[in-house]
Amino acid sequence: MLSITKSMALHGLEGFLIDVQVDVSTGLPSWDIVGLPDVSVKESKERVRTAIKNSEYELPSRKIVVNLAPADIKKEGSIFDLPIAVGILINLNIIHYQITENTLMIGELSLNGNLNSINGALPICIEAKKQGIKKVILPKANAKEAAIIDGIEILGAHNLKEVVDYLNGDYQIQSYNISWEENISKNIQNQLDFSEVKGQESVKRALEVAAAGGHNCLLIRKPRITEKLC
C-alpha cells in the first residue's frame, strides 16, 4: 500500500513542495529513506519508530520505504518526521482519513511522541500559501508564528496522537488565528522609544532615516579599550 502526504523543503527563503511517499509491505524488516535526504532526515526513522511506539500504536516488523519526491531537491532537517509517521500510520490502517492535496505537514517528533518546535515555520507557511496549500499541521510551539499568514488554516498539535485523532475525526484541533495589526499595536505599546535613550543623536537620526525609507541598518558597538597596549 502506498500513502502520500505533503511537506516542504526550504532552501533559504524558497520552498519546494515535497511528496512524502511511504510504502509498507511484507518482506525482510528494513527501513529506507530515499530522495536526496541529508543525515538529519535519515535519522528520522529512529525518532519516528520510537515516537509511534510510545504513542501506543503498534508498529510491526515490515519493509518500509520512504521516498521524498522530487528526488533532485536536497532535503534537510527534521521537519519530515510528522508526515513520515502519518504516512506509515495510514499504511497500517491506524489513520483512515484520506489527506487532501491542500494539506501540508511539518514537525519534529520527540521520542515520546511530542512535536518539537522547528525552524523556518513562517517562510514555509508563506511559500505554502503561494502554492495553493489551505491547511498546515505543525507543532503547537510554532502556531503563533505561522498564524501571522492570512488565508491559510494553521493547526498546532502537541503530539502525534493529537494529529492521528484529528485525522480520524475523533479530536478537533482549534485553528490558530492572530491579528497582525493587533499584534503590532500591542508590541509597540510594550516597547521603549527614543525618548528613553540619552544622547546618541546621530545614531537615532540614522535609525529614523532607515525606518522612514525602509532601509536595512546595522549597528556595531565599538569596544572600549580598558588597557593600554605595551
- Cα 104 off chain centre by: 10
Host domain of residue 154: 2-178
For 153-203, the pLDDT digits (tens) are 999 999 999 999 999 999 999 898 776 555 555 555 556 677 777 788 888
The pLDDT of residue 12: 82
The pLDDT of residue 191: 66
The pLDDT of residue 11: 87
Residue 132 has pLDDT above 80, yes or no: yes
Angle between the N-to-C axes of helices 81-91 and 44-54, in degrees from 0 to 180, rounded to the nearest 10 = 60
The pLDDT of residue 179: 61
**CA 135, 68, 62 angle in degrees (round to 5)?**
105
Averaged pLDDT for residues 107-128? 95
For 200-229, the pLDDT digits (tens) are 888 888 888 988 888 888 888 776 665 555
Count CB neighbours of 83 within 10 A.
30
The pLDDT of residue 31: 93
Contacts 24+ apart (CB under 8 A), 97-103: 97/167, 97/168, 97/169, 99/4, 99/5, 99/6, 99/167, 100/135, 101/6, 102/132, 102/133, 102/134, 102/135, 103/5, 103/6, 103/133, 103/134, 103/135, 103/136, 103/137
113 backbone dihedrals φ, ψ, rounded to 5°: 95, -5
In a domain, 212, yes or no: no
The pLDDT of residue 187: 55
The pLDDT of residue 224: 65
DSSP H or E segment with residue 208: helix 201-213
State how many domains the chain has: 1
For 48-73, the pLDDT digits (tens) are 999 999 999 999 999 999 999 999 99
The pLDDT of residue 225: 60
CA distances from 157 to 5, 50, 93 (A): 17, 18, 21
CATH number of domain containing 83 = 3.30.230.10
| DSSP 8-state assignment for residue 152 | S
Query: Which residue reads 540619552 in cell numbers?
Result: 198
Averaged pLDDT for residues 132-141? 96
Measured distance CA(155)–CA(163) in Å, rounded: 9
Burial of residue 100, with CB atoms counted within 10 A of its CB: 0-12 exposed, 13-18 middle, 19 or more buried = exposed
In a domain, 156, yes or no: yes
Averaged pLDDT for residues 11-35? 92
In a domain, 206, yes or no: no
Measured distance CA(137)–CA(103) in Å, rounded: 8
For 78-117, the pLDDT digits (tens) are 999 999 999 999 999 999 877 778 999 999 999 999 999 9
